[in-house]
Structure 1
């Protein structure tokens, strides 16, 4: 795999994500209306707001399944356009179904753009996963059976964990940094394969070259070659290789569906289009990686993210 050069690409990632920020926020608003509940204070929380860093947003909620031996863990990473959302807005029914299967559940919070530039969120999620592994004995986790799921911005973060190199630094004096950042399986919805806007023009219905023209024109501090190199680094499809974990992707439209009416709805539809998933599915298959792509008319091998992750975590 190609390890992302986190520090070098940070400022460009911020610019590119700001291009699509409005649409991410529109989508997360609608997503949070669907059975999302505040779980703060819920009796199901075993450990609440456990710090994995110094920033107030660097926290984890952990829910322990009723098991008497080390058990698998599923990690949730929320969306919100990297400007909002919350780790404590989780579907309680989903959590309980994992717990009933003997699978622990963790929900990760991370820094937003108002706190730190990109790639802070990505670094936080890596650190959170490594931190969780240091707690495997104390929390009863089988560190070799950890999966992650998320949507929208969370899709980018879990794909980053799944397809990036292992960020473990075995020579580090920091025990957290020595832990693996790899996953056993990953599931997400509405994720983008690339941040190459030329690809979007050619492959995403309704996307026009002038969609982000004003914001793109502000980036005059990079040469064309530098810009292309950095865009390639932050496009998750470029990091797919044969040792990646089983992957489940879900999208809310068919490839041939018409563009919905209304600017806000159309923007969200474009940003989360199934053609991104089709491109990733093709590359995953070429590399021999197990992949399931769900959209309304697709054959349902697994009905949802939950059934897919449970299947792989209980193998």
Structure 2
């Protein structure tokens, strides 16, 4: 039996009520932690857009905000709930098993712009399947194609920063090299993602071009530059010293911050060797920022508060202060940027506003 859109939305509200409101009524301490996390993960898989910062983990706060947004914005009822099948899936862009991407090609006679999605997950998890179905639909309705990437996870030993960044740069080069094959416009590429994917997207946008015109590898000759960036809960810096000063609390103690550099202790992280400090700078997008860099659309959803001293290690790693720092730096250089906190976007859909931001800049080119 086919359910009406209103019936489907009612079921969504019921699921979210049972997940969020019931926990609030009985008290979180009365419910075992693992079952609650399992329900959150199940909800994230059913409704990928509920994961506001796209870091691969759905919090109770994000679930509650997702419920409120659906009540406030009837337009979201028309957005698809399920990700469509890719036009081309698991296309290899490099030798590693995670050097693969999916393509969702628009049906167009003219070469199409491309929006590239880079998933989050702390550089140790996540999946390209978390690409927003709504973003794909909006793109196809406007003759824009979408790609979603995998990249190598760090392991704390051999695969460290900036391997994930370079993998995604290679994917951009691969897509440009094959632009004619897939009817893409190589001059109109945008990148977006949440958390780790946001950091990589900014790194690609701000870093100097990695193209090597003298390389014997035709793919390496392609540009890695992009035209616009979108982020959700993005970190402009991965320097633990800078994060400690910028955010406070214990955000800088996030396990991934240690793992991406192969650092074994907090002491080593806060007192890096000169070589390690250079790597902090190389891996952080904001250190590469210059006035010729592309525009940025930022979304943040974590509370804009001073993190308490008793916060958990890694908590507030998506703090709005990252966005404020980026905005101040980009404003100073005269680079267009938009900062949105979901608390101030009631009744709006920031991800679709991000899409319109991309579309505007594609048209300007």
State the TM-score, normalized to the length of structure 2. Answer: 0.69
Match of 1:125 in 2: 168
**More displaced 10-residue stretch of structure 1: 112-121 or 59-68:** 112-121
1:42-191 matched pairs, under 5 angstroms: 42-43=84-85, 45-114=86-155, 116-191=159-234
Give the unaligned 5+ runs of structure 2. 1-52, 67-78, 259-263
Root-mean-square deviation (CA, aligned residues, Å) is 3.4
- SS in structure 2 opposite 1:137? coil
| Bigger CA radius of gyration | 2
Match of 2:241 in 1: 198
* Superposition deviation, residue 210 in structure 1: 7.9
For each residue in 1:212-236, what CA deviation from the matched residue of structure 2 results, as whole angstroms up to 9, or x when unmatched? 898222569963x334333223221
* Superposition deviation, residue 194 in structure 1: 2.0
For each residue in 1:189-223, what CA deviation from the matched residue of structure 2 results, as whole angstroms up to 9, or x when unmatched? 11112233333333314348888898222569963
User: Which protein has the bigger helix share?
Assistant: 2
**More displaced 10-residue stretch of structure 1: 187-196 or 204-213:** 204-213
1:228 corresponds to which of 252, 277, 285: 277
Match of 2:337 in 1: 291
1:276-315 matched pairs, under 5 angstroms: 276-296=322-342, 303=350, 304-315=353-364
For each residue in 1:155-196, what CA deviation from the matched residue of structure 2 results, as whole angstroms up to 9, or x when unmatched? 111111000001111111111001100001011111112233
Match of 1:30 in 2: 58
Give the unaligned 5+ runs of structure 1. 1-24
Number of residues paired by the alignment? 284
- SS in structure 2 opposite 1:312? helix
- SS in structure 2 opposite 1:99? helix
Asked if 1 retains the 8 angstrom alpha-carbon contact of 2:111 and 2:184, the reply is yes
Evaluate the alpha carbon distance shift between residue 220 and residue 81 of structure 1 in structure 2; reply closer, same or farther with a 3 A threshold.
Answer: closer
The alignment status of 1:241 with 2:290, answered yes or no, reads: yes
Cα separation, 1, equivalents of 2:356 and 2:127: 24
| Higher RCO (CA-CA < 8 Å; seq separation 6+) | 1
